[in-house]
A and B are shown apart, each in its own frame.
Chain A
Amino acid sequence: MATIRVDIVSAEGEIHSGEATMVFAPAKMGEVGIAPRHAPLLTALNPGEVRVQTAEGKEESFYITGGMLEVQPHLVTVLADTALRGDQLDEAAALAAKQAAEEALKGVSSETDLKRAQAELAEAEARFRAAQKLKGKR
């Protein structure tokens, strides 16, 4: 039986890679099913489930929050997003970044370098003590 290679990757890591007989993905204009030797296709994906029928006849499914789908005759690539996207969400994120900048540059930062360093020292100390305890138990 003909198979097609499927790679599902996200910016933070590879999610799936293998041969499949059929792939289903939630494309922007409706769910698509891709069989081997599908015509080249590029489409955006909605949040949803990507189902992969593997060469062994098993079905695996992956939930994605959106992304892109690229199809070449022998290769399907799903570029999965790692975050929920959407115009409004993106806009909100941009706004948050701007606000953070304004606040940070006002000069009233509660976290001085000294406090950070102290916190870090305390953490290191705690880790060290924990390690010592573990050592003692062994």
Chain B
Amino acid sequence: MAGEKEIRAKIVSVKNMQKITGAMEKVAASKIRKAQAQMEASRPYAERIRRVIGHLAHANPDYKHPYLTERDVKRVGFIVISTDRGLCGGLNINLFKQVIREISKWQEESVEVDMVLVGAKAIAFFRRIGGNVLGTASHLGDKPSVNDLLGSIKVMLDAYAEGTIDRLFLVHNEFISALSQKPVVSTLLPVSAIDLGDEPLQEHWDYIYEPDAGELLDDVLMRYIESQVYRGAVENFSCEMAAKMVAMKSATDNAGEIIDKLQLKYNRARQAAITQEISEIVGGAAAVSG
């Protein structure tokens, strides 16, 4: 049996670990709230811009923007949003599995896949398994900003405009609740089914365009896609924090169990030593008096 001293040292080290995981759990819990507020804050913009696009599409049905038209799929693009840091359970790996499933599905139909990766974890993963990566962005921090994402989005939009890719997907984790996150794949391009919401257009009217409709629609659609990706990044961050909180909580609980077990072991070792000492004394005394 291990000595008392070693067991005590082990208990101390597990206790320290427990303190750290406990602290990380609390940090993650407080960050979830902020991340969710950020998610909420991005909603009005997305709603307004969707309405503008709806108006635009309705106002000039003859004008067909490339972003709005379907074409034969020869090559597809994926924007994969992952986390920058680990220690968040199976969040990233579930997402990557989903991506790989999607990719192999396309490859079966002999459609090539290009990717843009957001987050250090995705970069590390696809470096290992390979893949055609056009652009990356990482270290978005606690407050992802649109600015950090622009470059990688533009890479994909350019590829789409040039006809290199014919469809663009966004992959990120969806925040269902603090305990449940799910990887989702959504279509960014072509922007086919933009819902006009529940308010029907009562009258047919058109805007005055400055400078011209095509250019404006271009700008609006680009911003719409950027806002979608931004939202994905923010949502994914909420997921990261939620998953981290759960992972750290179970780590803390596990540490508690280990401490209990070690404590028991320690008590036994201590008791065994005492018993041995007493029996030695008793034996010695018996030998002397005998």
Contact = CB atoms under 8 A, between A and B. Distances in A.
Interface of A: 7, 9-14, 27-29, 39-44, 67-68, 70-71, 77, 79, 81-83, 90-98, 100-101, 104-105, 107, 109, 111, 113, 116-117, 120-121, 124-125, 127-128, 131
B147 A82 contact: yes
B124 A9 contact: no
A128 B20 CA distance: 7
Nearest to A29: B210
Interface string B159-194: 000000000000000000000000000000000000
A102 B41 CA distance: 34
Contacts of A40: 205-208
Interface residues of B, number: 58
A125 B18 CA distance: 11
B168 to A, nearest CB: 15
A83 B86 contact: no
B49 A79 contact: yes
Contacts of A111: 120
A12 B42 contact: yes
Nearest to A121: B20
Contacts of A95: 151
B205 A96 contact: no
B197 interface: no
A97 B223 contact: no
B220 interface: yes
